[in-house]
Structure 1
Amino acid sequence: MSEPSTSAFFEKFESEDLGEGLPPMFQVADGGAKKWKHLDQLDFDLIGYLLSCHLVVEHYINEFLKTHFPELDWQNKDAKMNFAQRAALLTTWGERLGQPFNPVPTIKRLNSLRNKFGHQLDYTLTADDMKPFIDFLHGVSPWEGLKQATAKQVLHWATWCCCASLMRAIGEQADNGHVPSPEPTR
């Protein structure tokens, strides 16, 4: 059986209202059945916010590494480190902070969620996904509104608290005369 022509494919869509959303995801299931999965229920605002939180935290991790490991050649293109590897370098620092102030598990969960959304567009956040953020916030903040907070609000405050912890460590290094080395590479 031959595949429909490209023009027949587009003629099908010309007859339908495509709306404002993304094209549906298409897959061929067992037995050759074709399935469409529509993406109109995605929370693009939350996905975009989570990705933005990840980028901001990544900036602070880079600054932390430049001030805490100035002897390393962060410009070396052959020694690229991904986010998880750079976050792993924070582990000892976070352990010294102790609970409840250690932001590293929260940073690692943020990266895990970024990867889930990066590879599974229709991923839905669960209570288990948000638990490390909520546990961290309960430890560092008396904010009563946390019980009714949305996922976006939890991400907002957790990102602020993680960045504040890193900012303090960066500032302490700068106060001690540690000059940052060039930007870490990816």
Structure 2
Amino acid sequence: MSKESTIYTYRLLKRVHYKPIFFQVYWILTVCAFLGATLAISFWSVPAGLIGVPVGVIGIPLVQTLLLRLLLRTKVKHAPQSWSWSYQLPWFGYAPGTDTYIALTKVRRLHFHVLWIVLVLLGCLYPWLPPSLFGFLIFTHLWLLLPRLIIIFLLRKHSSSGYLKINENDSSCYAQ
């Protein structure tokens, strides 16, 4: 090693393991809600059903991704290279990469901002949306964020000094 190398040591504070039964139940509830929303939206109006479901499934994750990128760019003052798109629960969507440590306070703040900003944006669209489509969009938004918020809640004790590391089978909180 050279003299200019920096060595970081992290101490594990808490680890949250991903339980497969949780994800199975989560997906079953999601399929039931998706089918119910499709039937309810199509019942109210055919155009809303044809347009609303794809908008909810594709549009909400894109809005969350854009908001996270915007918040990271304005808070950190540069584009986030360590964040990427993830297709696995609980970090489905735009999330910190598996090869980096990120301050738990930053993750908590970003996700609570995204939670409230999207809810406010959907609230602004409420007068023009059928009630079933409005409910479906809110459900999709909360469905994407709920597993992340549960992990953040479980790690709340260490949020002031903890660093989050996301692995394939767990999320861990470390202290430097």
Structure-1-length-normalised TM-score: 0.26
Structure-2-length-normalised TM-score: 0.27
**Structure (1 or 2) with the greater strand fraction:** 2
Looking at CA atoms only, which structure, 1 or 2, has the larger radius of gyration? 1
